[in-house]
Amino acid sequence: MQEWWRSAVIYQVYPRSFQDSDGDGVGDLKGITSRLDHIAALGADCIWLSPIFASPQADMGYDVSDYMAIDPLFGDLDDFDMLIRSAHDRGLKVIVDQVLSHTSAKHDWFKQSRASRDNDKADWYVWADPLPDGSPPTNWHSHFGGPAWEFDPQRGQYYLHHFLTSQPDLNFHNPDVVDAILETCKFWLDRGLDGFRLDTVNYYFHDKELRSNPPAQTRPQVMATDLYGMQHNLYNKTRPENLGFLERLRALTEKYDDIMMVGEVGEMGHRSIEIMGEYTAGNDRLHMAYSFAMLGPDFSAEHFQNCIQGFQRGAPDGHPYWSFSNHDVPRQVTRWAEHAVSEDAMARLACAMLMSFEGTIGIYQGEELGQTETELTFEELTDPPAIRFWPAVKGRDGCRTPMVWEKDAPNAGFSTGKPWLPVKAPQAAKAVDQQGEGSILAYYKHVIALRKSHPALTRGKTVFLPLPEPVLGFTRTADEETMTCVFNLSPDPQVIKIKGTASVVLSNAATLGADRLTLDGNGFAYLLHGTGFAVLKG
């Protein structure tokens, strides 16, 4: 089996914001197809499409009303088939976001389920009676604020929702639900899809006994909206039954040629790395998993080392997927700005770090341009939690604004109509047509090609070097090739003592001397080992 995904660079497309082909201000499948050459030229191997299925769009497609239909906002099945063919013609694989833990309240399944307690789908969602005082069955919180339970007067019961009240959770303890979900996945595999990105992959099952969560031990409340983090979310997600479902889903994919599944682990901190390991262990669960461990504000050598080593320990036979940004978090150049000499320096440092990591690599659209977070006013927001909790929460719209293609074209070439989120001048300034020689886009192309040309970078095992903060350093070795990668995660110069000979494969703001490597602020280097080369200390 080829297992193309093991060394792949996966490019995430947010369909609403990539390219609009019909002037309605929203990106679509035809628009994506028209821009495939950009992705292929970057050197990516695969496209991950955020949700494109039928949906009322209360949570931008993460509330599915029909798993086997394309939302008219994005096109139709013919447009989907054309996208698949066009991508394959360019050597690109395509995976699609599968949101399986919950549906829209407008899904026919839920309409029938809520109608009565004794119909064929009555037990397809998580229903529970109120407590004697009328309060919710457990203390579980929703990610988007308030309890994770909504009272439904039609049934006189509460239903579970981890996100919006219009996103009820499916009851995976019901085998009919599991069978129906697997059938929807088969539908897309039969149409030539190359795999799935599984949203909230550790949320499928809940505790059947409906036990309340204990308080968190190490994460105090930091703002009024952080109630979810005040609990040790033990009973509402990451239940042991999840593994059995993943094994059934993997068995389905094994009936097709070289399919890949990558799961999103909805968890922070060290526990997220443990779950990644558990969900990818062996060869009968997920092919890969990623968490939010590298998608937060933490930016230290210790943090990145702990993430990678934690996965190595937890799943020695597993395979990780690492990314620094996606549609749910502020863009990396902005998120880590306090550690940067400049936006340009941080963009190059982040690119070089990510492409040096062991595993599969993910890029979110616009990161290859060095894109920054968009500052939005309240009136411009579309993201439900931001609208609810503004200004304490700015939400996710700032990273979801449209892709910029031509600086001086209307809406930077994204749409001829009014875009669903605005294109602002700081973002338009980074348009593709402004990215010439020496640009961030050119740099991404160069580093991706470099990664693919060195077995140490695509397949090499990682061994960390005992370097002090703020320097991250490790070696990677494969096919008798050893590469040392060293990164200065601060704006202050750092000096690393070395011995022996090495050749510089990639560097920025770095000087290799006879016995030392000098890294200016945010400087870094890939060093190919020569005679007796070793890093001594900082």
Active site residues: 199, 267
Q: CB-based contacts of 391: which residues, under 8 Å, 6+ apart?
A: 378
Nearest by Cα to 397 from 419, 418, 413: 419
> Amino acid letter at 157?
Q
Going 441 to 445 to 447 to 451, the CA torsion angle's sign is positive
CA distances from 277 to 200, 289, 298 (A): 16, 8, 21
For 37, list phi and psi in degrees, rounded to 5: -60, -35
DSSP-based three-state secondary structure for 161: coil
DSSP state letter for 168: P
Per DSSP, which regions of 132-266 are E strands?
149-152, 157-160, 195-198, 260-265
Considering only CA atoms, which of 418, 49, 414, 100 is closest in space to residue 242?
100
Token pair, residue 180, equals 């129906």
Handedness of CA 510, 485, 355, 346 (dihedral sign): negative
Contact of 350 with 336, CB cutoff 8 Å: yes
Question: 311 with 318: CB under 8 angstroms?
Answer: yes
